[in-house]
Amino acid sequence: MSKIAVVYWSGTGNTEMMAEAVTEGAKEAGAEAFSFTPETFSAEKMDEFDAVAFGCPSMGDEELEDTEFEPLFTDCEPKLKGRKIALFGSYGWGDGEWMRTWEEKCRKDGAELVCDSVICSEEPGDDEKEACRKLGKSLAS
């Protein structure tokens, strides 16, 4: 049984809803899945998990939230090489550039992106929640 961490930051609750769906999907696929916020996760915990889903909305000029999530993610980057990960998040403006930049950073760090990232504008609907469940299932397999 794989062990999955779902690590996210959410300002409005949209990315939190996505994280809940990712966790559900991983559990439906038979994995042990645990949800964390930046306050409850650290780079040291990375080695406890077979795969990690990271979720963060687009902030400012299409970038990761920079006071809580981005510092945590930066600490985790040295542990990404060869690790199965997936990315998700919501946005309210722009075209998803923050996610493309984030994916590129992860690839350069040597991470294995197990599936397409999931993004949605504002609150996730049924289609986006289902895509998040599939993301969780992808991490579990």
- Domains delineated in the chain: 3-140 (3.40.50.360)
**Averaged over 85-107, what is the pLDDT?**
95
Q: How far apart are the C-alpha atoms of 130 and 127, rounded to whole Å?
A: 5
| Residue 4, pLDDT above cutoff 90 | yes
| Residue 74, pLDDT above cutoff 90 | yes
pTM of the predicted protein model: 0.97
Structure tokens that stand for 111 in this block = 């991470």
- Model confidence band, residue 60 (pLDDT cutoffs 50, 70, 90): confident
Assign residue 59 a region (left: φ > 0; alpha: ψ between -120 and 50; beta: otherwise).
beta
What value does the mean pLDDT of the chain take? 96
